[in-house]
Chains A and B, each alone.
Chain A
């Protein structure tokens, strides 16, 4: 046996598993010693078998002493920390001791007459589980040779047979030859089966790994694809938008009022197209990432609201809509920036699209201190349980019977279709999905001709942030 390679012959990938196996071996040996003692006493005083009891008690004693040594070595000397090679040697020593002791216990108690001879099957199964097939072959081979050898030696009276029954049955050898063969084949078959099962599991593990790698690759391709598509679709729109802006500003000649109006119309449809592209990409992204934990960082809510209002300002100015924000300056939220931007952008965009001229859209955020549901800037400091976000418009409102449908994918209200031809009906489903992904809740109130208000509650701080606060 190549000792230096012993460490690599262990077939269990998990080191922690192996140390658990060692502890388990030691415990089992104590239980076995107690079991053997009880059985011996029972057999001797109840059944009255004539066996070399002194020898058997001594063997049990040896078992206890050896196990005590194992325990001392493992717990006291090595403090359960063994290098892989040490661990392998330790396991081999234990297994060999167990084999030898069990063999003698069986041999002195009737050998093949003793039904406990089949206990070797457990040992073989454990060995097969722990080691590579070449090592298992050596163990199983030696055991079978030992068994056949002892049986043949008994047959030729080279070694004595220790009787379990009162008198030697003259048919012992004829009777027990099948048992010897049975035992040996059981040992070989159990070794084979365990090794085979192990091989299949390993094969499956490899296949899972291959699948996993394939998924990772697909994920990479998908991210790349989204990146490319976003770039390819938004790029031309950026240029179109630039040219529209140039025309509107009269770079390249002052426009006649009619021409100016036409350019504005073209620009509005271009902006709609951009919104549609963003919605579709966000929708595809969120659909594909359903199970993913979005990375969160500490965000300043005020900054994000102002950024979004800024982005939508020209769109609002064109409709004479006033955008206002009410948010404490230091309000922070532990969340995902992309999703928060997606939520706000969609809600603000909707509000602008579906509000009449000369109205106001308010985006408010505040901290909610406890579950009492009270909001107020005074509680904006740390320790807030939730952040309450409101997007409020003075638009046309939503029909009560349509209100429950607005979060359905591709659904657009009658009024929305009337007011704005372009739209995917994906905006609000995206918002809802994003809010859910961030662990928040979303409610909507709407009154016809008065306006619509979206309320969103986010859990304010992640565990991480709260930890660093204290």
Chain B
């Protein structure tokens, strides 16, 4: 069973996305801070990571975390999740973020599953 790690500070997103993906047959682990998430990657070695962008400590913490994860685990695909659906809102260039996919919230679960299967 493919292991997916979800890192998001919104517990409801962890619960809903986690349950929906579990229902689709994935093994789900979740972390509500970037730090916990980074620790869990070491222990779990997930097959794919879903990573939120905005965290309370910093608006673009997720983008930075994506870079940190990528440099340490270049093989794990990272899907960046964000409720912000317009590029103009970020002064961060998407091209600089080592994400396999950018997923907008609300997550369309069928679409997400399809995309995940492309990478596993």
Contact = CB atoms under 8 A, between A and B. Distances in A.
Interface of A: 223-224, 226-227, 230-231, 234-235, 237-243, 245-246, 249, 251, 274, 278, 281-282, 285, 310-311, 313-314, 337-338, 341-342
Interface residues of B, number: 28
9 contacts: A227-B84, A227-B90, A234-B106, A242-B20, A246-B16, A249-B20, A251-B20, A278-B85, A310-B111
Contacts of B104: 311
Contacts of B39: none
B89 A243 contact: no
Given A234-B105, A235-B105, A239-B13, A249 B23 contact: yes
A76 to B, nearest CB: 49
B86 to A, nearest CB: 5
Interface SS majority for chain A: helix
A238 B20 contact: no
Contacts of B20: 242, 245-246, 249, 251
A414 B103 CA distance: 36
Contact of A230 (B86, B109, B111): B86
Nearest to B53: A231
Nearest to B86: A338
Interface of B: 10, 12-13, 15-17, 19-20, 23, 54, 59, 83-91, 104-111
Contacts of B90: 227
Contact of A231 (B19, B54, B91): B54
Contact of A338 (B12, B54, B88): B88
B108 A242 contact: no
Contacts of B13: 235, 238-239, 242
Given A223-B89, A224-B59, A238-B107, 6 more contacts: A223-B91, A230-B84, A238-B13, A242-B17, A337-B87, A338-B86
Nearest to B22: A251
A275 B90 CA distance: 20
A239 B10 CA distance: 8
Nearest to B93: A295
B89 A227 contact: yes
Contacts of B19: 246, 251
B83 A311 contact: no
A231 B84 CA distance: 6
A23 B89 CA distance: 49
Contacts of A337: 87
A339 to B, nearest CB: 9
Contacts of B89: 223, 226-227, 230
A243 B11 CA distance: 12
Best-buried of B13, B54, B88, B111 by chain A (most CB within 10 Å): B88
Contacts of A231: 54, 83-84
A227 B109 CA distance: 24
Contact of A234 (B83, B87, B88, B108): B83
